[in-house]
């Protein structure tokens, strides 16, 4: 029975698993990136975080703990020097990144790339004031732009309405003039017709008297 042992089996016994984890952690700190099985990468992640935390402390006891975990004094010295120079200074955890590559041919084991995260941390506190300022500024700008557009549109709308009123008045005057002309033309025609009828009647009377 597996008494007093926690973690993944990884298909090996305790001593083999311990040696394998130590070699993987050392390879990760040497090369900043390794390619391994997903289960092994997740198993060594706590050890990597512990070593970096000890390096941040920087005292003698932490150095001895790191040497006992890695088994390489020179590598521990390099790690402590890098951390003392400012590496991982702004990061309070999450020192590693795991990227999946897919399954391996043959045994179909899930392969990953595990690497150290060395990018500086983007602080949310610095981004929030800028976003708030942008949010506060944008409505005012929008309102000012809308007001300017409205101010420009008001005289244009007034001019358009005046032009429409003038055009309607001109149309009404033209209709009235046309109606008056039509009435006058009808009256002239009626006068002409009555004059023609009177002439015809006079000529008829003259003819009758002549007979």
Provide the pLDDT for residue 196: 78
In a domain, 85, yes or no: yes
Is residue 19 very low, low, confident or very high in pLDDT (cuts 50, 70, 90)?
A: very high
Residue 21 CB neighbours (<10 A): 18
Residue 208 lies in a domain: no
**Residue 42: pLDDT over 80:** yes
Rounded distance, CA 49 to CA 64, Å? 16
Do 24 and 44 form a contact (C-beta atoms < 8 A)? Answer: yes
Query: In this structure, is residue 31 part of a structural domain?
Result: yes
Residue 133 lies in a domain: no
Indicate the pLDDT class of residue 177, thresholds 50, 70 and 90: confident
CA distance 72 to 66: 9
Q: What is the pLDDT of residue 130?
A: 61
Residue 33 belongs to domain spanning: 14-121
Domain for residue 91, yes or no? yes
- The CATH number covering residue 46 comes to 3.90.1030.10
The pLDDT value given to residue 108: 94
| Pick from 11-15, 74-78, 84-88, 151-155: least confident | 151-155
- Percent pLDDT > 90 in the chain is 41
Reported as a single tens digit per residue, the pLDDT across 181-201 is: 777 777 777 777 777 777 777
Indicate the pTM of the whole model. 0.56
pLDDT tens digits, 108-149: 999 999 999 988 888 776 556 666 666 665 555 556 666 666
Residue 28, in any domain of the structure: yes
Report long-range pairs for 52-57 (Cβ below 8 Å, ≥24 apart): 52/79, 52/83, 52/88, 52/95, 55/79, 55/80, 55/82, 55/83, 55/84, 55/88, 56/83, 56/88
- Domain membership flag for residue 200: no
Q: How many residues does the chain have?
A: 211
Question: What is the predicted pLDDT for the residue at 160?
Answer: 67
Number of domains in the chain: 1
> CA-to-CA distance for 211 and 198, rounded, in angstroms?
20
The answer to whether residue 194 sits within a structural domain is no
Average the pLDDT over each of 39-43, 72-76, 116-120, 135-139 and give the range with the smallest value. Answer: 135-139
Task: Tell me the backbone φ, ψ of residue 108, rounded to 5 degrees.
Answer: 60, 30
């Amino acid at each position: 029975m597996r008494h007093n042992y926690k973690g993944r089996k990884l298909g090996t016994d305790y001593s083999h698993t311990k040696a394998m984890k130590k070699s993987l952690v050392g390879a990760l700190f040497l090369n900043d990136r390794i390619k391994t099985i997903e289960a092994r990468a997740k198993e060594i992640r706590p050890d990597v975080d512990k070593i970096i935390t000890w390096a941040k402390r920087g005292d003698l006891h932490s150095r001895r703990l790191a040497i006992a975990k890695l088994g390489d004094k020179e590598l521990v010295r390099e790690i402590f020097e890098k951390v003392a120079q400012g590496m991982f200074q702004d990061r309070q955890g999450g020192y590693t990144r795991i990227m999946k590559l897919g399954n391996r041919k043959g045994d179909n084991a899930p392969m990953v790339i595990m690497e150290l995260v060395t990018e500086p941390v983007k602080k949310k506190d610095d981004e929030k004031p800028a976003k708030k300022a942008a949010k506060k500024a944008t409505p005012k700008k929008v309102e000012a732009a809308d007001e300017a557009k409205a101010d420009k549109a008001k005289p244009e709308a007034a001019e358009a309405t005046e032009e429409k009123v003038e055009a309607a008045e001109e149309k009404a005057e033209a209709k009235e003039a046309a109606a008056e002309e039509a009435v006058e033309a009808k009256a002239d025609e009626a006068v002409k017709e009555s004059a023609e009828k009177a002439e015809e009647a006079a000529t008829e009377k003259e003819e009758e008297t002549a007979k």
